[in-house]
Amino acid sequence: MDNQAHSIQTIGSFYGISANKLRRYYRNKLSGFQNWEHRDNAKDGLVFPQNISPRLSIDETCLSHGELYTVVTNKDAHGKKGTIVAILNGTKSDNIIPVLQQIPLRLRNKVQEITLDLAGNMALIAKKCFPNAVQVIDRFHVQQLATEALQEIRIKHRWQAIDDENQAIEQAKKAKQTYQPTLLANGETIKQMLARSRYLLYKSEHKWTADQKERAVLLFEYYPDIEKAYKLTQELSWIFSSTIDKIYAFTRLAKWADKVEQAGFKAYNTVSRTINIHHKKILNYFDNKSTNASAESFNAKIKAFRSQFRGVGDINFFLFRLTKLFA
C-alpha cells in the first residue's frame, strides 16, 4: 500500500481481514487504550490544565445520541495538539464548575479572555472558573438571531402563499376548471419565489447571483416587510464588520435598536432586547474582534472525527482518540 491515509475498511480488505476485527485489534492491542489511565471513566470528563492559555473558548458539542458535552478550548493551539483544555459530560453549570475549579487558581487566573455564546450557563461557568477573563459574546450568534428573525417573516408569508394556492385550487375544482398558477416575471410562482429566496436572504447583495438578484427584486416588490427586515439584518452585520471603536459600536447599535422599534417586527424586538441585556459582553468583541469561530471549527472536527468512527459506540475510546490528537 502507498503512504496515503486509508480507511480501516480499505486496510482490512487489502489484508483479507474484516473491518470490525481489525478495529477491535487496533483498539485492544495497538492503540494503547488498554493502558490509558482514563480508560473506564473518560466519559465523565477530562481536564488538561497544561493547555490553558490567555485566550479560551467555551461551547457545547454533541458526541453521541444527543448527549451534550461542555468543551473548553485553547485558541492559541489553532485546533491542533494542545487545543482541549476540558471536555466534560453535560452542560449544567452546577456540575461543570466544581470540576474546572479543581484546576489550580494560578492557572485559571492566567486566562484574560474567553469567548462564548449567549447561553447563561456558559457565562456562569466562565465567571466562576476564570475570574480574570473578559467575556466576549460571539458576534455570529448575535447575527444569527437577526437572520432567524428575517427567515421567520419569509416563512410566515410562504405558509400564507401555500394556503392561498390551496384555496385557489379548491375553488377551481368546484368551478370544474383547471387551476393555473400566476407566474412572475422570472417564471416562478409566488410560492416558489418565497421558498427559493431562503438562501439569498443569508447573503449580502454583492454576493447574489444573477438569478438571485432578479428574484430579490420581485420578492421585495411583493413583500416590502421582507426588504425592510433584510436591511435591518444586513445593517447589524455591517456594524460588527466595519466598526472598530467600541464607543462607535455602542452608538450604532443604539441607532439600530431605534430602527427596529420603528419597524415593529416582534422577532426583531426580541433580538434588540437580547443585545441590550448582553450589551457589555457583546461590545467586548470590538476590543480584539474575538469570536467563537475556533470553538465552532473544533466542533466541526469532532463531527468529522465522529463520522469516521461511524458514530460513537464506545465514548471512552472515542475520547481517548480525540484527546491523543488534540489534548
DSSP-assigned letters across all residues of 211-275: HHHHHHHHHHHH-HHHHHHHHHHHHHHHHHHH--SHHHHHHHHHHHHHHHHHHT-HHHHHHHHHH
pLDDT score of 146: 98
What is the torsional sign of CA 66, 71, 77, 81? Answer: negative
pLDDT at residue 307, rounded to an integer: 73
CB atoms under 10 Å from CB of 14, counted, come to 10
H/E element holding 315? helix 315-326
In this prediction, residues 3-14 reach a mean pLDDT of 63
Give mean pLDDT, residues 285-290. Answer: 95
Cell numbers for 282: 457583546
Domain locations in the chain as residue ranges: 45-135+298-326, 140-288
The three three-digit cell numbers of residue 302, written as one number: 469532532
Q: Kindly tell me if the per-residue pLDDT of 164 is higher than 90.
A: yes
Interval 229-238: pLDDT, tens = 999 999 999 9
Average pLDDT over residues 199-208: 97
Contact 312, 68 (CB under 8 A): no
The arithmetic mean of pLDDT across residues 227-256, rounded, is 97
CATH topology for 45-135+298-326 is Nucleotidyltransferase; domain 5 (3.30.420)
Q: Is there a contact between 55 and 290 (Cβ–Cβ < 8 Å)? A: yes
Q: Averaged over 225-230, what is the pLDDT?
A: 98
Contact (CB, 8 A) for 268 and 146: yes
Pairing state of beta strands 113-116 and 67-74? unpaired
Identify the weakest region by mean pLDDT among 9-23, 79-93, 169-183: 9-23
Predicted confidence (pLDDT) at residue 5 exceeds the cutoff of 60: no
Angstrom distance (rounded) from CA 166 to CA 222 = 19
Q: Lowest-confidence range among 11-15, 33-37, 264-268, 272-276?
A: 11-15
Asked whether the predicted pLDDT for residue 159 surpasses 60, the reply is: yes
pLDDT above 70 for 308: no
- pLDDT value of position 11: 66
CA angle 120, 101, 44 (to 5 degrees): 80
State the average pLDDT for the chain.
91
Quick: pLDDT tens for 76-109: 999 999 999 999 999 999 999 999 999 999 999 9
pTM, 2 dp: 0.87
pLDDT > 90? residue 2: no
Band the pLDDT of 281: cuts 50, 70, 90.
Answer: very high
Looking at residue 12, its pLDDT comes to 63
Instruction: Using a pLDDT cut of 70, give the percent of the chain over it.
Output: 92
